[in-house]
Structure 1
Amino acid sequence: MANPLSRTVMVTGSSRGLGLEIVRQLAVADNPPKVIIATCRNPDKATELQALARDHQQIKVIKFDVVDYKSLPSVVEEVKAAVGSLGLNLLVNNAGIMEKCSTQMFGVPLQDLEPQMFRNVLETNTIAPLMLIKALLPQLRVAAAATSGPAGAPRAMVVNISSIMASMGTFLDRHGIYAYRSSKTALNMVTKILAEDPEMKGLLFVAIHPGWVRTDMGTTVAPLRAEDSVSQMLRVVANINEKQNGVLLNYDGSVLPW
């Protein structure tokens, strides 16, 4: 990634799928970040992530369940220790869940949807990213103040991994998936609110649809490989400017309707 986003990066949900691939591609890049913080709920079981960390000393693995808000202060301290005076240039809110059942590929039929199931998805996909952004704002602001770059280039950025299924303007005709789609639509609104908040001057916020990717969540029938999705997303992120603050982007850089 191009300066300034080649400095310090944090990726949630890094034990598998898109998160793991983001960490991998950052680590092997020609100009890798100085620090890559990879979080997951169970680092001891994240064998691929741990192998990457052994091969690339800039990767720091942190145990973090995004809905464990009591752990946020200690996580923030670990981030501060890892990034030092550089602050945090890029936060990728990738961790997410989808309601599932055994009778259909995606989502849960309305008759089987329970309130707690909906709450769990909303908690993980919408509330948790916002609370993490709130907790890490001081470190994002340090990076924004410390980093210089070309005119219009972002100094510190938050990327929220969203979905085209959250787009009301596109509205793909897939039945059900009430909780996941609603939670990502809410995440899009959170992204837009942050981008318009005058208190967030110097920070950029974007939501990105990674495509339908072959992961545990996307299923094995998805057409897009994780490595292809991530390579394009990172190229897009490296070239985002202030004009794209608060937008929903496709993984190829095109703008999607809210």
Structure 2
Amino acid sequence: MRRRCGLTKLSGKLQKTSVKGNIYSGPDNRLSARLPATAYGWKVIAAVRDPQSATELKELKTEKLVQIDTSDEASITAAADLLKSQPIDLLINNAGIGGGGGIDKTTKAEMMKQFEVNAVVPFLMTRAFLPNLKLAVTKNGSATVGQVSSRMGSIADNGSGGMYGYRAPKTALNMVNSSLAADSTDEKIIALALHPGYVVTRMTDHTGQTTPEESVAGLTKIIAGATPADSGKFFHFNGSNLPW
């Protein structure tokens, strides 16, 4: 299984505060934090498993580095407690692992791990930081959650099969986002499912078809322009709606 490293892209209005939920640090994470910080003037709180080793993120002078091991629910809760008075206008859940093969090679252990990381962890992160999102709603009128999903989680778009361990958890994540959107209608929290494209990252062994910059630009535009009417939708990074 391959770990996604820093595909999360942040964007939005000036002086917003964002949390990037991501297990792993590295060059791709550095890009994730740089773009909103420089192009949009955002205050970025980067969540990493080991702040001491996140040297490249430190170079970006993010607002704050917060330790979160998303494989440990207690770590998520502790980080939320640390930031309990901080309004968060945008929470992007990007922790993820890839991989997975055909029906004959997919193991129970691999599939369960992918469900945990790709579906359960975003749910736990969203729930833990929901009070912070509500603080942002009170302060600024709305807040946004971006779940980094995948087109491979689309049931209607599945014409090639396989990848059981990756597809199924992404489909589950889309349902998590759909329920969040339904539950948050009156709370002015916009919930988006986002397909970043097949991006050139370590997760794809750098064999992707989309550069991180292209993916960032597309997702940035979607998030920055999202309205309550978009909550619950599934977006391709090119701005189109994907089928469920």
Q: Secondary structure at the match of 1:26?
A: helix
Q: Which residue of the partner structure matches residue 192 of structure 2?
A: 206
Q: Which residue of the partner structure matches residue 146 of structure 2?
A: 159
1:23 aligned onto 2:9: no
Q: Give, in angstroms, the shift of residue 17 of structure 1.
A: 6.2
Residue correspondences, number: 233
Q: Which residue of the partner structure matches residue 126 of structure 1?
A: 119
Q: Which has the larger radius of gyration?
A: 1
Q: Which residue of the partner structure matches residue 8 of structure 2?
A: none
Give the conservation status (yes or no) of the 8 Å contact 2:84–2:131: no
Among candidates 183, 187, 194, match of residue 197 of structure 1: 183
- What's the Cα RMSD here? 1.9
5+ residue gaps, structure 1? 100-106, 149-154
| TM-score (norm. length: structure 1) | 0.84
CA distance in 2, matches of 1:91, 1:255: 21
Among candidates 53, 56, 59, match of residue 51 of structure 1: 59
1:180 aligned onto 2:180: no
CA distance in 2, matches of 1:244, 1:19: 26
5+ residue gaps, structure 2? 1-10
CA distance in 2, matches of 1:6, 1:171: 40
1:232 aligned onto 2:218: yes
| Residues 108-166 of structure 1, C-alpha deviations (whole Å, 9 max, x = no match) | 34333221111111001111111111111111101001104xxxxxx101000011111
Q: Secondary structure at the match of 1:183?
A: helix
1:168 aligned onto 2:155: yes
- The one-letter code sitting in structure 2 at the alignment partner of 1:47 is T
- The one-letter code sitting in structure 2 at the alignment partner of 1:10 is V
CA distance in 2, matches of 1:176, 1:7: 40
1:39 aligned onto 2:26: no
Q: Give, in angstroms, the shift of residue 62 of structure 1.
A: 1.4
- The one-letter code sitting in structure 2 at the alignment partner of 1:32 is G
Q: Which residue of the partner structure matches residue 129 of structure 2?
A: 136
Q: Give, in angstroms, the shift of residue 200 of structure 1.
A: 5.7
- The one-letter code sitting in structure 2 at the alignment partner of 1:45 is S
Q: Secondary structure at the match of 2:95?
A: coil
Q: Secondary structure at the match of 1:235?
A: helix
Give the conservation status (yes or no) of the 8 Å contact 1:97–1:121: yes
Tell me the percent identity: 31
Among candidates 199, 207, 212, match of residue 221 of structure 1: 207
CA distance in 2, matches of 1:119, 1:190: 17
- The one-letter code sitting in structure 2 at the alignment partner of 1:191 is N
